[in-house]
Chain A
Amino acid sequence: MDRHKFIRQLTDYMESHKQQLFRYVCYHVGSAADAEDILHDVYLRMAEGYDASCPVGNMPGYVYRSLFNACVSNARSVRCLSLDSPEVERLISEPSASFEDEFLRVSIMLSGLPETCSEVIRLRIYGSMTFDNIAEVLGVSAATAKRRYYQGLELLRLKYDVL
């Protein structure tokens, strides 16, 4: 695939999936502005850094893996709350009123999970990805991705019995 063709494919994919991509990044970094910056940077980096000798086989996997790496690099520490605090109780039990509350709630919930599980849940729920694509992003098999997903959900159910 030549460079021009790759950039066209990349642009088409990101334009058609931008809301899912944006949502995935948003629930990673907790800021819409930061998410747009990351999306923009990653897009340009991928477009300029294309190497014809290493063709991209799976565009969604390639894009999400790049976004995941960028999110990890950009990660900020989430406001620390004690899991036993009344605020956490309120966040978990009551419907969120805003994106900030929702992000905080999700972050708190996922923070108690192993990183391997929480990332699969993010990709599945916020990135609207199939297990095959998740497997591609994480470099594991689809079965492993699915197992981690349900393992994470099970841990959450046990932990937050209220749900």
Chain B
Amino acid sequence: MNHSTDQNEKDYGRLIEALTPKHAPVTRMKFVMPRHRRSRLARLLHHVGRVAAVLVIGVGIGLLLSRPDTTVAAEKTMELGIEKLRSSKRCRIELQARMLPSTHIRPFRLSPDGEMTPVVMNYYSDSVNAGITLDWVVQGQQHFIRILPEGEVYFDGQKLESSVPADFLRGMSVIFCYDSKKFLDMFDRRLIVDRDGNATTVNGWMKDGTVGFSTQFSDYGGRLTRFIISDVSRKPYLTMMEATSIEYFD
């Protein structure tokens, strides 16, 4: 403020004094920097994140709640498939099995070291020809097995006493002769069912965790249409048996 301004202020001193506030209120408000404002994208992501979190939790809870139903559905699907297998007059299954070469005392042996060998399996339920037959060719030589309902096993026309692996016989008898529950008991209860188009796939594992299987059933008839059995103790999984064709003859 320069000299003339000071002089003017003095000239109007009383007037300025009259205008000068004597009872001016004071404020106690504080000015604080506002928080960093988030961009629109950040806010959108925040909302999306919340929605995603809710969805994940919701789906997780839903899966937890629905898991028993899923397992039941898988069991029912497999039970129906096995029942369809047993109730058909004849079922022809073409499969590939990883087998070691046959010997006269050991008709076949599934082994991870073996080679995939085409096998034709027929199941007959009629009273005249009841039983299971297996045909395969190894090293140019054809082999033939017939398993009768009474448990008798014939290999290349000769009756075998105990050379057929007990597990195989037990599996076969369980599938074809007994309640399918027994078959399912061989597996872990953690079965996963998946519907894709007109097919239902059920995946499961043996209780010891070494063998896994994937079975596919027709969504219309409930028939077993495909299966793969793998050695899941190896990485990557090694296919031990795979059905290439399953036909039913009623």
Interface positions of A (Cβ within 8 A of B): 4, 7-8, 11, 14-15, 18-19, 22-23, 26-27, 32, 35-36, 39-40, 43-44, 47-48, 95-99, 101-102, 106, 109, 121, 125-126, 130-131, 146, 150, 153-154, 156-157, 160, 163
Partner of B23, one of A19, A98, A126: A98
Contact between B27 and A146 (Cβ–Cβ < 8 Å)? no
A47 to B31, CA, bound (A): 11
Contact between A163 and B18 (Cβ–Cβ < 8 Å)? yes
A32 to B36, CA, bound (A): 29
Known pairs A19-B27, A146-B5; A11 contacts B22 (CB<8 A): no
A92 to B29, CA, bound (A): 32
Contact between A18 and B20 (Cβ–Cβ < 8 Å)? no
Contact between B24 and A23 (Cβ–Cβ < 8 Å)? yes
Known pairs A99-B25, A121-B19; A7 contacts B14 (CB<8 A): no
A157 to B33, CA, bound (A): 44
B8 close to A (CB within 8 Å): yes
Q: Contact mask B73-101 → A, CB, 8 Å, 1/0?
A: 00000000000000000000000000000
Known pairs A7-B33, A15-B31, A150-B8; A157 contacts B15 (CB<8 A): yes
Total of A-B residue pairs, C-beta within 8 Å: 82
Contact between A153 and B15 (Cβ–Cβ < 8 Å)? yes
The majority secondary structure among interface residues of chain B is: loop
Known pairs A48-B37, A125-B19, A153-B15; A32 contacts B27 (CB<8 A): yes
Chain B hits for A130, CB < 8 A:
1
A98 to B93, CA, bound (A): 106
Chain A hits for B21, CB < 8 A:
23, 27, 99, 102, 106, 125-126
Chain A hits for B25, CB < 8 A:
22-23, 26, 32, 35, 99
18 residue pairs from A and B, CB less than 8 Å apart: A4-B36, A11-B32, A15-B30, A18-B31, A22-B26, A23-B24, A27-B21, A39-B29, A43-B31, A97-B23, A102-B21, A102-B23, A106-B21, A109-B19, A121-B19, A126-B21, A146-B5, A163-B14
Chain B hits for A15, CB < 8 A:
30-31
B12 close to A (CB within 8 Å): yes
Known pairs A109-B19, A150-B12; A8 contacts B33 (CB<8 A): yes
Known pairs A22-B25, A96-B22; A44 contacts B15 (CB<8 A): no
Chain B hits for A157, CB < 8 A:
12, 15
Interface positions of B (Cβ within 8 A of A): 1, 5, 8, 12, 14-16, 18-27, 29-34, 36-37
Shortest CB distance A60–B (Å): 15
Contact between A125 and B5 (Cβ–Cβ < 8 Å)? no
Chain B hits for A102, CB < 8 A:
21-24
Chain B hits for A23, CB < 8 A:
21, 24-25
Chain A hits for B15, CB < 8 A:
153, 156-157, 160, 163
Chain B hits for A8, CB < 8 A:
33
Give the residue name and chain of the B residue nearest to A3 (CB). B37
Contact between B22 and A153 (Cβ–Cβ < 8 Å)? no
Chain B hits for A26, CB < 8 A:
24-25
A126 to B21, CA, bound (A): 7
A15 to B33, CA, bound (A): 10
Shortest CB distance B69–A (Å): 53
Chain A hits for B20, CB < 8 A:
125
Contact between B29 and A18 (Cβ–Cβ < 8 Å)? yes
Give the residue name and chain of the B residue nearest to A39 (CB). B29
Shortest CB distance A125–B (Å): 5
Chain A hits for B26, CB < 8 A:
19, 22
Shortest CB distance B31–A (Å): 5
Shortest CB distance A3–B (Å): 9
